[in-house]
Amino acid sequence: MYVSDQVPQGALTGVRVLDLTQVMAGAYCSMLLADMGADVIKIERPEGGDDTRRMSRGPDVEHSPAFNAMNRNKRGIAVDLKDPRGADVVRRLAEDADVLVENFRPGLLDRFGLGQEALRAANPALVYCSISGFGATGPYAGRGGYDLIAQAMSGLMSMTGEPGRPPAKVGVPICDLNAGVFGAYGVLSAYIHRLKTGEGQFVDTSLLEAGIAYTVWETAMFFSLGDVASPMGSAHRLSAPYEALPTADGWIAIGAANDRNWARLCAGLGMERLLQDPRFENNPARMTYRFELAGELAATLRQRTTAEWLEALHAAGVPSGPLYDIEQVYADPHVQAREMLVETQHPRMGTVRHIGAPVKLSGTPSAIRRPAPLLGEHSREVLAEAGMSAAEIEELVSAGVLVTPDDHARTTGAAASPLDSTEVPA
């Protein structure tokens, strides 16, 4: 599916967001807002831009898939925040912005006069969102954070993987992504408050809290019973059978998490005898004998292919599905029908594929309108909209404070900015 600028207005059309983020957590937050129609201005350093521009295993090191994945639907400018004139540009943009999202270490932007107190003093309606490794307060506030560290410290790694195996992280950077989702949730909550009162506020979330917030079942069991969660593979902590099991040619995920679906599963597998087995008479019993139950089911499932079992189990009304790799995901007709694969046209890369928007609004649908920007692609355009004259803009370009795509050759391969060592990587 190809998507262009010719789409209906989104729910956030007219909302201006300044994006001072790098890599994933903050960039994902602002991308979610952009997908809903917000005008997101990504502000990058002139010396190479966002680090994800260089996260590529292919031959094109300037336009990486990683950067395109996180920065679609955004306009981009490249400005040197270390130069007072560059910081002034951002302050000027912030005076008319609705939202600012950043993921530097707490306090870093204060050095440039771009902290939340300074910007909100000039624009009290500004919603200022900070996404960091550990949050803006507490003894770890000054630490940098990575998804791996947050997964470890949130407990996620202690309960992921197979029993008896080394610690494993979740297969996707779940703390990064969830921090981005929570950031967007906080921004929208604060923006609704602003619509009622005219007041902006500071939104503060972190990778660590994003990980802890997802330990819902595990924390509930610890608080109520003192149970400390451990790895269970694909199995559920509170229901059985609810896991991936082997078939003749692969794996099948089965969710028979209540007695009704348990009875349907037994019928679909032709294993009605298990309904009379006292070990499996109810969910507590099935949890007690979970390993024996999995063995019984696997012995039968290995006799037929995944496709054959899916046909039988769907006919019986059992929630079940195949175990896909990422290629198979996007070949699935339902995934395609739900428009979870969309395309844009990039000025240098040609057709670029994107994950589709996961939330569908009937009246103001989200949309993938444009690919990620070139470094500084909209520098002149955005500053002109902010009221700067052509002469002022060209003066900044000549001084190297502002970069446009025409200046990209000058910055390609340049040394990383000193800001790198203090940003919160995601």
Going by their DSSP bridges, the two strands 99-102 and 16-20 should be labelled as: parallel
Question: Please, how many CA atoms are within 13 Å of residue 349, restricted to the half-sphere of its CB?
Answer: 22
Beta strand pairing call for 341-346 and 16-20: unpaired
DSSP state, 332? -
Q: Where does 142-269 have alpha helices with state H? A: 147-153, 174-197, 207-212, 216-225, 259-269
19, 35, 147, 176: which one is catalytic? 176
Residue pair 375/411 in contact (Cβ under 8 Å)? The answer is yes
- Alpha helices, DSSP H only, in 38-115? 65-70, 84-95
CB 399 within 8 A of CB 89: no
Tell me whether strands 74-79 and 402-403 are parallel, antiparallel or unpaired.
antiparallel
> Strand order in 16-20's β-sheet?
202-206, 127-132, 99-102, 16-20, 39-44, 74-79, 402-403
Q: What are phi and psi of 328, to 5 degrees?
A: -65, -30
Q: Are 225 and 238 in contact (CB under 8 A)?
A: no
Please give the angle made by the CA atoms of 301, 304 and 305, to the nearest 5 degrees. 100
60 is catalytic: no
| CB-based contacts of 30, cutoff 8 Å, min separation 6 | 17, 19, 21, 38, 40, 42, 74, 101
d(CA 334, CA 336): 5
Q: Which amino acid is at 140?
A: Y
Active-site amino acid positions = 176
